[in-house]
Amino acid sequence: MALTDSLLVRAATGRPGPRPPVWFMRQAGRSLPEYRALRTGSTMLEACRTPELITEITLQPVRRHGVDAAILFSDIVVPLVAIGVGVDIVAGVGPVVDKPIRELADLDRLRPLEADDVAYVSQAVGDLVRELGPVPLIGFAGAPFTLASYLVEGGPSKDHALTKSLMHSDPQFWHALLERLAEIARAFLQVQIDAGASAVQLFDSWAGTLSLADYEQFVLPHSRAVLQPLAGTVPRIHFGVNTGELLAAMRSAGADVVGVDWRVPLDEAARRLGPGAVVQGNLDPALLGAGEQVVDAAVRRVVAQGRIADGHVFNLGHGVPPGTDPDVLTRIVETVQNST
């Protein structure tokens, strides 16, 4: 296993070090001026297919904040684009799909992903692992449900009504769709592991829109098909927003670490997850603008609550919001790194 003694891998495997490792979802891009400078002249998806840009953007937050892990600069739709699905990432909106996928005949557009389809990712991961030295690189993929929600709705959605109604009205189509997406996500993670990633995160960002019963019936088996085959490779982190009711089920999909948003305190999350749980999270991103005193106190509270679990990876409860002052993030890293 790569970088076994890094704080990230130690925490993720239930052998925590003296303090939690810290990194931020969406640390690459977003709030950094050096990111915006580098991105002028290329679209998001062009940047995601250019190894030099992937590498540099991934390294920027590591240099600036001294975080304990890097996350690959990419997007959950990159493997879909790589197999020829018409998706664009529209600034301020998110992924937008040319022709939504809503019936069995549409599934022909979702062929399996081959490593060659994402050679730029393999190259960037290999280069990054050399550049990062002792700092672990986290690879990632979008989970079948979250990918399906974009493909079915055609773009971002608040209530995911079409997605939810389709899973109930046409379960044959639904399960066939999620089977294909699971295979794509698994292959995308395997590419990153083969190239040297030290951990992977499966983003099921919108799974929290589902009831536990629907999650167990329509989603869990497919997320399990992504995560279970990777057992014994590198630690697997499984994250979603608003998943307080789903935490134990998400763990049972085959996660070594369960990501928790800000709604459930980490000690309570650890209780819901059961013995041996490792948690990631969970500072409310909305607090980042509330001033030093508020942020410091909230960081200390998260660190203290995380001690109940068998391991804790410090993070926000969701991604870094676009307008965040980067100095606030640097200070959080210092606060966590000085906590023992």
Whether 39 is catalytic: yes
Neighbour tally for 93: CB within 10 Å: 10
Our finding on whether 101 is near ligand CP3 (CB under 6 A) is no
Residue identified by tokens 């980042």 is 288
Q: How far apart are CA 166 and CA 326, in angstroms?
A: 41
Per the CB < 8 A criterion, the answer to whether 290 and 322 are in contact is: no
Amino acid at 274: G
- The span from the CA of 271 to the CA of 248, in Å, is 10
Q: Is position 30 annotated as part of the catalytic site? A: yes
Q: Which of 29, 79, 265, 281 binds ligand CP3 (CB under 6 A)?
A: 29
200 membership: H or E segment, kind and range: strand 199-203
Considering only residues 18, 37, 91, 169, which one is a binding residue for ligand CP3 as defined by CB under 6 A?
A: 91
Determine whether 98 is an active site residue. Answer: no
CA 51, 52, 55, 57: dihedral to nearest 10 degrees?
Answer: -120
Binding-site string for ligand CP3 from residue 122 to residue 141, where x marks contact by CB under 6 A and - marks none: ------------------x-
Stretch that binds ligand CP3, among 23-31, 129-137, 282-290, 330-338 (CB under 6 A): 23-31
Select which of 19, 68, 75, 261 is catalytic.
75
Could you tell me which of 181, 180, 276, 193 has the C-alpha nearest to residue 230?
193
Site string for ligand CP3, 305-324 (x = CB under 6 A): --------------x-----
**Closer CB to ligand CP3, residue 317 or residue 339?**
317
> How many C-beta atoms lie closer than 10 Å to residue 319's C-beta?
18
- What is the C-alpha to C-alpha distance for residues 160 and 123, in angstroms, rounded to an integer? 35
Q: Name the segment binding ligand CP3 (CB under 6 A); options: 27-35, 101-109, 110-118, 262-270.
A: 27-35
* Least gap, CB of 204 to ligand CP3 (angstroms): 9
Q: Report the distance separating Cα 71 and Cα 57, nearest Å.
A: 10
Q: Catalytic one among 30, 224, 271, 331? A: 30
Place of tokens 């389709």: 166
Of 5-13, 72-80, 162-170, 215-223, the segment contacting ligand CP3 by CB under 6 A is: 72-80
* Catalytic residue, candidates 39, 109, 111, 331: 39
Whether 100 contacts 166, CB under 8 Å: no
Residue number, 28 or 191, with CB nearest to ligand CP3: 28
Q: Which residues are catalytic?
A: 26, 30, 39, 75, 150
Q: Could you list the residues that contact ligand CP3 (CB under 6 A)?
A: 25-30, 44, 71, 73-76, 89, 91-95, 140, 203, 205, 319
